[in-house]
Copies of this chain bind each other. A is one copy, B any other.
């Protein structure tokens, strides 16, 4: 794991939507970046919080009770146990902060699911 990175250059290397890449390791968390477009699977991280920070674009985080609208420079922490589904109507770049053991599709396995090994590539 490299200690240094340039976010723009790292995003430029991403060619697949919904495929998070781990860019840093900080204590028990991984810092990841992902390009999102379209909808995703509803899922829950039973024991882990997950932070979304919008680097570019707009993201809707659908919760069961409301929809959180995030623009560039805005962030939201999905607290552990909260069922959610991100929706990007246009391409969106996000930085994610998650526990190392967090699976990005949570308790659901779908065609979107990437292993931690995939995310470290």
What residues make up the interface of A, taking CB atoms closer than 8 Å to B? 3-8, 23-29, 31, 48-51, 53, 68, 73-79, 97-99
The answer to whether B99 and A27 have CB atoms under 8 Å apart is: yes
What is the predominant secondary structure among interface residues of chain A facing chain B?
Answer: strand
The answer to whether A76 and B3 have CB atoms under 8 Å apart is: yes
Question: 7 closest A-B pairs (Cβ-Cβ)?
Answer: A7-B73, A3-B77, A26-B51, A26-B49, A6-B74, A26-B97, A4-B76
Q: How many copies does the complex hold?
A: 2
Q: How far is the CA of A99 from the CA of B29 in the complex (A)?
A: 10
Q: How far is the CB of A36 from chain B (nearest CB, A)?
A: 18
> Across the interface, which residues of B come within 8 angstroms of A3, CB to CB?
76-79
Given A26-B97, A27-B48, A73:B8 Cβ within 8 A? yes
Q: How far is the CA of A56 from the CA of B75 in the complex (A)?
A: 17
| Chain B residue at minimum C-beta to C-beta distance from A8 | B73
Q: Can you list 25 A-B contacts with CB-CB less than 8 angstroms, sorted by A residue number?
A: A3-B76, A3-B77, A3-B79, A4-B75, A4-B77, A5-B75, A6-B73, A6-B74, A7-B53, A7-B73, A7-B74, A8-B73, A23-B75, A24-B75, A25-B49, A25-B77, A26-B49, A26-B51, A27-B29, A27-B48, A27-B49, A27-B98, A27-B99, A28-B28, A29-B97
